[in-house]
A and B are shown apart, each in its own frame.
Chain A
Amino acid sequence: MSRVATMKYLSAFILAACFGLLPLAAQTAHDETQLGVYTSGDYDGIAQTEPRGLRPGAVYSVDAYPLDAPRLAAGDGRELVASYCNTCHSTRYITMQSPLPAATWDAEVNKMVKTFGQPIPPDAVAKIIAYLQSHYTPETRKE
């Protein structure tokens, strides 16, 4: 950018700032467009990862699979869910679902105990079901 052009931009910026009129979009000779509109916000990038060092030999491997625990709704029973349900699978299995009817949550938790053999004490089973029904049905789900 030439010195004159730089000066021009700077003065434009200062002038506009003085009048409290910081432009939201650049000015243009073309009325049919808006140019240079940016906004700041809560954008996350997805980090690239370092290439792995490989060694010859018969062993083939990848890095540990990354965990990304979801935020579970605050409420009674959350810790029981976080401990018992997390034994076999992450709690994303809960948050990924569509809001499910209360009876479906009852059946799902009972399936984990009876079909899949997760040893959850009966009082904890009841509390886990109550928690899921309080936060993850069509009527109760908020997040």
Chain B
Amino acid sequence: MNDSFSKQPDRSGFSRRSLLKLLGAGSGALALLSEGLRAALPQRPPERLQTFTGPGANPHWNSVGPFFTEPQKDPLILLTDRPVQLETPRHFLGSAFTPNSEFYVRWHLDELPNVVDLSAWRLRIEGNVEKPFSLSMADLMKRFKPVSIAAANQCSGNSRSRFQPRVAGGQWGNGAMGNALWTGVPLKELLDAAGVKSGSVQVQFDGLDQGKGPEGLGSHKFLKSLDLNNPVLAECLVAYTMNGEPLPLLNGFPTRLVVPGYFATYWVKSLAHIRVLDKPDENFWMKTGYRVPDTPRGTTTPEEIKAGTVKTIPVGKMPVRSFLISPDGSTKIPEEMPVTLRGIAFSGFGRVTKVEISTNDKVWREASLGEDYGQYSFRTWDISWTPPRPGRYSILVRATDEKGNIQPDEGVWNPGGYLWNKIEREEFVVGTAT
């Protein structure tokens, strides 16, 4: 036989070469595959992620629960089904505005609204005021000039699963946050219309939701209050749209309080009562829950907590944070291929003025900032990165706000699992290109 003959198809339609290859398919031909090729592809399904992490820190960007579909939502990461707590997957957080159907969800009490009849629903402004009154949705929309604000909403316990030692509570990864354009009525206009009586100290927010616990306890009502002399009141909105749409029920339809720069615990959902108080709110969610050590960065130690020496204050503004959203490290990058690193940053203390990344050389390089939607909004950033040679890379990202607050490379610890804002890092594997 000669080569020219071997290339002729035989009567069955196979070339000799292809027949040999075929016969060798199971063993011979596979043996021809390089070690690297074979190792790249184990012949089995990928392992499922274990649905809890610990006692070490959660090493994943998000929490580890299954994807789960709730009404008006795309599949999000399930923390708990009753009451509902859902985390937004990382890749939905790369844009300045988080879509409503991907926006994270966190309720405290299990009787949350499935149905709201707007013919009966009223927002009530009451308590220590001259003229208590109530408003229908039509009143809210027509009697007041709508105001919009872009504002990031972040759970106080976002990234709680990073804590060491771990603390009890929702084991959020980084996805208990989102940014939206909120539109509604300024809280101040409602308070002014009612006439706050002198001697008033706080304003309390009360939603439609309730729990099965006894009246008067935190297991029955989730209530939050802000001091009347807090400057943030001038920026608060009673929002009836979110990104130009009605709020999903899980995010607080029909109205939700927006407290720009503050953690989401104050952003009471399905808001029904705005109540002016003549003495400080002592309900569980103010007096016991959502409190942080009155120390720099709200950090303390388990020993100090045990000793009972830690003074606490209600959680407040969100410290500056930044996140690398994509690429997410799950894909290898060839050396010398320019890739665009993208993410978001925000701060409750002032506009984000700088986002920097560093790689293995530990040099901070400034990223370009995206459009400025206001000081409380997510700000997108991007920067091109060309990995110079193969290997493992650790990419760090940190943001600075206009008050000069800069993300530190140290975590915090407090028993509530609040205020995490350590510099984020992502590991990348860079391969050869030749």
Contact = CB atoms under 8 A, between A and B. Distances in A.
Contacts of B165: 101
Given A65-B70, A96-B65, A116-B213, A88 B44 contact: no
A95 B170 CA distance: 11
Interface in A19-33: 19-25, 27, 31-33
Given A62-B71, A62-B114, A96-B80, A39 B119 contact: no
B79 A11 contact: no
Contacts of B275: none
Nearest to B67: A46
Interface stretch (A53-61, A74-82, A122-130): A53-61
Interface in B95-117: 109-110, 112, 114-117
Interface string A1-39: 000100110011001100111111101000111100101
B218 A25 contact: no
Contacts of A57: 119
Contact of A138 (B27, B55, B253): B55
B81 A67 contact: yes
Contacts of B12: 11
Contact of B13 (A7, A24, A95): A7
Interface in B67-97: 67-72, 75, 78-84
Nearest to B14: A8
Contact of A96 (B40, B171, B250): B171
A97 B69 CA distance: 21
B347 to A, nearest CB: 28
A19 to B, nearest CB: 7
Contacts of A47: 69
Contact of B22 (A16, A33, A115, A117): A16
A104 interface: yes
Contacts of B337: none
Interface residues of A, number: 63
Contacts, number: 182
Interface residues of B, number: 74
Given A15-B22, A115-B218, A138-B55, A61 B30 contact: no
A51 to B, nearest CB: 11
Interface in A72-107: 87-90, 92-93, 95-101, 104
22 contacts: A4-B13, A8-B13, A15-B23, A21-B23, A22-B25, A25-B33, A25-B41, A37-B43, A43-B45, A59-B115, A59-B119, A60-B116, A66-B81, A70-B51, A88-B109, A88-B219, A92-B79, A97-B171, A100-B168, A115-B288, A117-B214, A117-B219
Interface of A: 4, 7-8, 11-12, 15-16, 19-25, 27, 31-34, 37, 39-43, 46-47, 49, 57-70, 87-90, 92-93, 95-101, 104, 108, 115-118, 138, 141
Interchain residue pairs A-B with the least CB separation, the first 10: A21-B26, A98-B54, A41-B45, A62-B71, A58-B119, A116-B219, A23-B25, A98-B166, A61-B115, A90-B82
